[in-house]
Amino acid sequence: MNALIASDAGLTSACTQWSTKTVLGLDTEFFRERTYYPRPALIQVADDEGVALVDPLAVSDFAPLDRLLADPTVVILMHSCGEDLEVFERLFPSPPTRIFDTQLAAAFTGYGFSLGYSALVAALLGVELDKGETRSDWLRRPLSESQQRYAALDVMYLAPMHDQLSKALVRLGRADWVEQEFEFRRRCREVERQPEAAYLKVSGRGALAPPDHAVLRALTAWRETEARTRDMPRRHLLGDDVLVKLARVRAPSTDALRSIASFSPRVRTRYGDVIAASIDSARTAGPTALDTPTNLRPHAATLKRLKAAVLVEAETLMVPPGLLANRRALESLVVSAVTESAVPAEFLGWRSAVITPVLLACL
């Protein structure tokens, strides 16, 4: 049976033990169907002596674990840690200092892009994991023995995978690549978390005219802020389809807002005036350079040539093409050439010596 930590004293004691380690495996379980923020349900920690399960519903003082994760001498092993970091933001003032993401490392060592934990354990260690509790209710108490076993498995194999992946990265000369890529993604995540950047994830925005883009930016930033304040899913406030329809409204009268299909009457009654004011304000201010995307249709052949170059280089390096440059990155590179602006940030760092010169030559 794994150790279950369900008190402040128990966590303090465990952190004292973990502080003597240089490597820790970490994972979380959470629930996020009816809230904006993930609700922490479990924290799994593995060291060379075993696995401990920390119950965030029973622990109130996470300061000892916060200090431990911020210690630069401790390497925190995680797999696909993006959502886990969101959980940490709810619990810890300080983000983990040194993270080794096994999913990212696997991509650099030839094991595919966005490989799941179970698949990577099977590929590296030849172990087939039980997936029986994948959709379990992690907020239910007490946790069943089956849940605890499943949760422990999610961190049990991080250390042996780290050993294999680290050796492969050193052999390939790519250890620095992983660190640089993780730092780049961390910075991108900080930017993407700003309410003003939320409109970039709205589906259907590509068909909007520049003035409508300005309205969409304003409305999406408002939705993001309100959803955070009320801790509710964005879609429960306004769906992307409604945002796009609202962005096309020229004069936001009561009748105009009422005519929009799928615009909840309850939301319209509560927020109609605020939404109308946002639309008016955005239309008065007018579009900015952000709202006038470069027309890429004349550059379809260039994008095709860039994509082909990425495929060739990816095959040579034996890495997923998407790791070198996805379509969005290639489009941003073309835009930078057309507008004579700086090379996008995603083509700096390790890519500047691997793929950027090849793509610039294609341009």
Of all helices (H) and strands (E), which one includes residue 100? strand 99-101
Assigned CATH class of 297-362? mainly alpha
Query: Tokens representing 105?
Result: 């490392």
Fold of 3-192: Nucleotidyltransferase; domain 5 (3.30.420)
User: Is the pLDDT score of 1 beyond 50?
Assistant: no
Residues 6+ positions from 68 with CB-CB distance below 8 Å: 15, 18, 19, 24, 74
What one-character DSSP code corresponds to residue 130? P
Q: Which residues of 172-210 are buried (b: 16+ CB within 10 A; e: fewer)?
A: eebbebbbbbbebbeeeeeeeeebebbbeebeebeebee
User: Is the pLDDT score of 295 beyond 90?
Assistant: no
* 185-211: pLDDT as tens digits: 999 999 999 999 999 999 999 889 999
Q: Do the first three CATH levels of 3-192 and 297-362 match, i.e. the same topology?
A: no
User: Is the pLDDT score of 135 beyond 80?
Assistant: no
The confidence score (pLDDT) of residue 99 equals 96
What are the sequence ranges of the domains in the chain? 3-192, 195-291, 297-362
Assigned CATH class of 195-291? mainly alpha
The confidence score (pLDDT) of residue 344 equals 95
6 or 295, higher pLDDT:
6
Taking every pair of Cα atoms in the chain, the longest distance, rounded to a whole number of angstroms, is 66
